[in-house]
Amino acid sequence: MLPMLAILGVMYFVVLLPQSRKKAKAQAEMMANLKKGDEVVTQGGILGKISGVKDDEVTLQVQEGVRIRVLKSSITTIKGSSGESAKPDPKGTST
């Protein structure tokens, strides 16, 4: 029983802990790089385009004339920015 616990403990420190730190670092970097014009998705599933960035909050335009304020930490995904296409080409060819 003790050797099995030792193996699990080593696995935690070798595999799982570095992965969670890497994920947290990537999330913090993404939040730091948010800029006006990025299309994002929040934890609640709200899609919007960033129209303003402050210290720890972002203003999202969810529809023409409709803006909401959300915390940066609630943003999970950046779909694209104003200068690039957010949708991949379905045929896999580039133009």
Structure confidence by residue, pLDDT tens digits, 19-32: 888 999 998 999 99
Residue 67 CA, chain-centre distance (Å), reads: 20
Structure confidence by residue, pLDDT tens digits, 20-72: 889 999 989 999 999 999 999 999 999 999 999 998 999 999 999 999 999 99
pLDDT band, very low/low/confident/very high, at 95 (cuts 50, 70, 90): very low
- Residues making up the chain, counted from first to last: 95
Res 9: pLDDT = 86
Per-residue tokens: 12: 């935690």
72 vs 55: CA distance, rounded Å? 9
Res 18: pLDDT = 84
Res 86: pLDDT = 42
Question: Which are the contacts of 20, defined by CB distance < 8 A and separation ≥ 6?
Answer: none
Among 86, 49, 81, 82, residue whose Cα is nearest residue 68: 49
Give the count of alpha carbons within 13 A of 60, CB side only.
21
